[in-house]
Structure 1
Amino acid sequence: MDRIRIVGGRKLEGNIQISGAKNAALPLMIAALLTEETLTLENTPSVADVGMLLRILSHHGVDYSVDGRRPGDQPHAARTLHLSARRIVDITAPYDLVSKMRASFWVIAPLLARMGEARVSLPGGCAIGTRPVDLLLMVLEKLGATIEIEAGYVHARAAKGLVGAEIDFPKVTVSGTHTALMAASLAKGHTLIKNAACEPEIADVAACLVKMGAKIKGAGQSVIEIEGVASLSGAHHTVLPDRIETGTYAMAVAMTGGDVLLEGAEPDLLRNALDVIGMAGAEISTNNLGIRVRRNGASLSPVDVTTAPFPGFPTDLQAQFMALMTKANGRSRITETIFENRFMHVQELARLGAHIRLDGDIAIVDGVAELQGAPVMATDLRASVSLVIAALAARGESIVNRVYHLDRGFEHLEKKLGGCGAVIERISGSN
């Protein structure tokens, strides 16, 4: 199993190219099941989750090809997927595939909308909480599907097609909103989605669906209207830049000091997080190339944050911000409101010398003058990269184990950080 070795204490200087957003690329790839024609997605990140989803889609009959970067291409054209679901060969998504990536459960919506039937395994547990699928199933039932759960599988049927309806979510749900967008695009009649998620990835998927011929208004706002169409066509779409990767590298620069341009980053995708990083002591500026983050000499200030749905502070940056606050000059409080059990990185940060106390859904962080390198264990995607950030600022050597978590969502992390002066390398093979 691969590990990452980091020797801390080096400032980060240079440029980092921001990749396409994994959290948009996955539902965009699943949307290929809605049409017989080819969906082309540019700026798709080369991460393990994308590779796994390609295998899952292939199981259903999706043909795909991958284009690498060609001489003279702009950076955003670095990786392009061509997905063609001309013929769906299997409406069942088996447990051995779905259990490896929860987002693959979302195939239930396009399979049901297009084929009138879908049988998808329940995804099982999750390291950062239960993440139930009840709201996704509520969407399908509202649109006229019959749902049966048998032997660990959800069997959804709509032999005469889905029918538009009013969907009022009791709480904001990104996965539920993605499900509603895809299912309602091929439903008969009008669908009104209330209390929809407003995350940029939702708007990006909706923009792609519109290119495919869907009739969607209001995506990116709390109320979305959809007028169903009989069929969708192929399209070309460029995946938006990854705001979580952007925030992660911005915090790494704030943590270590230095001066880095995050090329291709869009500040409007994470205004709240950038404001918080600025309050902590980093200088944030933007230009037509991206976002520049600098911190040279100034100490870090403690900042209290509470995670919230967009446009609030993202839960996917909570672990990284906690790492940053371990070096702040004072006490900060971080409140997690989205997922239970998303503080598993606390004990590993403590191995590096952090002082963190948990009180329910609040982490109380007392900054320390110095972190000390140590072997640590990644527990999930965002927790793993928080350990990398802390290790970059720690004195001495750290070894981050279980880096397959990192590979799920961060493209070429060692190369990007190493290119800015970090002493970081991947050690292959042994545990």
Structure 2
Amino acid sequence: MDRIRIVGGNKLNGTIPISGAKNAALPLMIAALLTDETLILDNVPRLADVAQLQRILGNHGVDIMSAGKRPGDHEYQGQTLHISAANIIDTTAPYELVSKMRASFWVIAPLVARMHEARVSLPGGCAIGTRPVDLLNMALEKLGAELSIDGGYVVVKAPGGLKGAEIDFPKVTVSGTHVAVMAATLAKGTTVITNAACEPEIVDVADCLNKMGAKISGAGTTRIVIEGVTKLHGARHTVLPDRIETGTYAMAVAMTGGDVLLAGARPELLQSALDVLVQAGATVTPNNEGIRIARNGAGIKSVDVATAPFPGFPTDLQAQLMALMTMAKGSSHITETIFENRFMHVQELARFGARIHLDGETATVDGIAKLRGAPVMATDLRASVSLVIAALAAEGETMVNRIYHLDRGFERLEEKLSACGAQIERISG
């Protein structure tokens, strides 16, 4: 199993290109099931989750062609996928595929919308709490689908097709919003989703669906209206830049010091996180090429943050911020309001010497002057990269084990960091 070895203490200087967003690429790939024509997606990141979803879609009979590099392409530019679901030969998504990644459960929406039936295994993914699918199922039932659970599978049927409805989510759900929007595009009549998630990835998927002939308005607000259409066609769409990757590298620069351009990053996608970085003592300068992050000389200041749905501070950056706060002056408080069990990185950060006290959903971090390198273990996708951030600033050597979690969500992490002066390498086997 691969490991990453890091010797800390180097400032980061240079340019880090930001990849396409994993959390947009996955639902965009799934949306290809809604049409029998080809959907072309540009800037798709090369990640383990993307490869896994390709296998899942292939099981349904979807043909996916990955275009090779073109003259003038930069090595970090994402891949172009040509996705054709002309003939869906199987409406079952089996346990052995779905259990590896939660987002794959979302195939249930386009399958029932277009084929009027689906049989999808209950999902797996990161172990950060229950993350049930009840709100997704509720949305499909509102649209007229009949649901049952059979041997760990959700079986859904809509013999006459889905029908437009009013869907009011009792709490904000990104996955539920994705599923409701995709399913409603081919439903008869109008669907109104209230208390919808406002994340940029929802907007990106809605933009792509509209290019395919859907009639969606209000994406990015809490009220989305979808006028159902009988058929969608092919389109070409570029995946937006990954705001979580942007925030992660921004915190790495704040942690180590230095000056880095995050090329292709868009500040409006993570303004709340950038505001927190400024409070913590980093200099944040958006420009035409992306976002420059610098911290030269000044120490890290403690901040208090609570995670919240967009446009609030993202839960997917909570672990990275906690790593940054381990060397801040004073005490900081980080409250996790989205997922239970999302403090599994605390015990691993403690191995660097970090002082973190947990009380319910709030972590109190007492900053210290120095972290020391240690052998650590990745527990989930975002927690694993928090260990990398700590290791970059720690004295001595750190070995990060079980990095397959990292490969699910970060494209060429060690290459991007080493190009900016980090002493980091992957050790295979």
Task: Classify the TM-score, shorter chain.
Answer: over 0.9
1:342-398 CA deviation, whole Å, 9 max, x = no partner?
000000000001000000000000000000000000000000000000000000000
Alignment of 1:47-58 (within 5 A): 47-58=47-58
In 1, Cα distance between the equivalents of 2:188 and 2:75? 40
Matched AA of 2:401: N
Alignment of 1:261-276 (within 5 A): 261-276=261-276
CA contact (8 A) 2:17 2:76 kept: no
Q: 2:219 — aligned with what?
A: 219
Deviation at 1:68, TM superposition (A): 3.3
CA contact (8 A) 2:26 2:103 kept: yes
Q: 1:343 — aligned with what?
A: 343
In 2, Cα distance between the equivalents of 1:229 and 1:74? 39
Q: Give the count of matched residue pairs.
A: 429
Deviation at 1:73, TM superposition (A): 3.5
CA contact (8 A) 1:168 1:195 kept: yes
CA contact (8 A) 1:69 1:78 kept: no
Give the TM-score normalised by structure 2: 0.99
In 1, Cα distance between the equivalents of 2:30 and 2:102? 13
Q: 2:236 — aligned with what?
A: 236
In 1, Cα distance between the equivalents of 2:402 and 2:235? 37
Q: 1:201 — aligned with what?
A: 201
Q: 1:79 — aligned with what?
A: 79
In 2, Cα distance between the equivalents of 1:354 and 1:307? 21
CA contact (8 A) 2:101 2:125 kept: no
Deviation at 1:69, TM superposition (A): 2.8
CA contact (8 A) 1:192 1:225 kept: yes
User: What secondary structure sits across from 1:327 in the alignment?
Assistant: coil
Matched AA of 1:56: I
CA contact (8 A) 2:169 2:194 kept: yes
Matched AA of 1:139: A
CA contact (8 A) 1:48 1:409 kept: yes
1:394-415 CA deviation, whole Å, 9 max, x = no partner?
0000000000000000000000
1:288-328 CA deviation, whole Å, 9 max, x = no partner?
00000000110010000000000000000000000000000
CA contact (8 A) 1:40 1:83 kept: yes
User: What secondary structure sits across from 2:44 in the alignment?
Assistant: coil
Q: Could you say what the CA RMSD is over the residues aligned between the two structures, in angstroms?
A: 0.9
In 2, Cα distance between the equivalents of 1:124 and 1:342? 16
Alignment of 1:23-422 (within 5 A): 23-73=23-73, 78-124=78-124, 126-422=126-422
CA contact (8 A) 2:46 2:78 kept: no
CA contact (8 A) 1:43 1:76 kept: no
Matched AA of 2:371: L
In 2, Cα distance between the equivalents of 1:413 and 1:76? 11
Q: 1:423 — aligned with what?
A: 423
CA contact (8 A) 1:302 1:331 kept: yes
Deviation at 1:233, TM superposition (A): 0.3
Indicate how the Cα distance of structure 1 residues 34 and 305 shifts in structure 2: closer, same or farther if over 3 A, else same: same
Deviation at 1:72, TM superposition (A): 1.9
Indicate how the Cα distance of structure 1 residues 75 and 309 shifts in structure 2: closer, same or farther if over 3 A, else same: farther
CA contact (8 A) 2:4 2:399 kept: yes
Matched AA of 2:405: H
Deviation at 1:161, TM superposition (A): 0.2
In 2, Cα distance between the equivalents of 1:104 and 1:404? 18
Deviation at 1:182, TM superposition (A): 0.4
CA contact (8 A) 2:101 2:124 kept: no
In 1, Cα distance between the equivalents of 2:354 and 2:76? 38
Deviation at 1:67, TM superposition (A): 1.6
In 2, Cα distance between the equivalents of 1:90 and 1:63? 13
CA contact (8 A) 1:42 1:77 kept: no
In 2, Cα distance between the equivalents of 1:116 and 1:216? 21
Matched AA of 2:104: S
In 1, Cα distance between the equivalents of 2:153 and 2:75? 41
Runs (5+) with no aligned partner, structure 1: none
In 2, Cα distance between the equivalents of 1:74 and 1:421? 20
User: What secondary structure sits across from 1:180 in the alignment?
Assistant: helix
Deviation at 1:71, TM superposition (A): 1.6
CA contact (8 A) 2:100 2:125 kept: no
In 1, Cα distance between the equivalents of 2:378 and 2:148? 37
Moved more, 64-73 or 41-50: 64-73
Deviation at 1:79, TM superposition (A): 1.2
Deviation at 1:75, TM superposition (A): 7.5
User: What secondary structure sits across from 2:387 in the alignment?
Assistant: helix
User: What secondary structure sits across from 1:43 in the alignment?
Assistant: strand
1:248-306 CA deviation, whole Å, 9 max, x = no partner?
00000000000000000000000000000110000000110000000011001000000
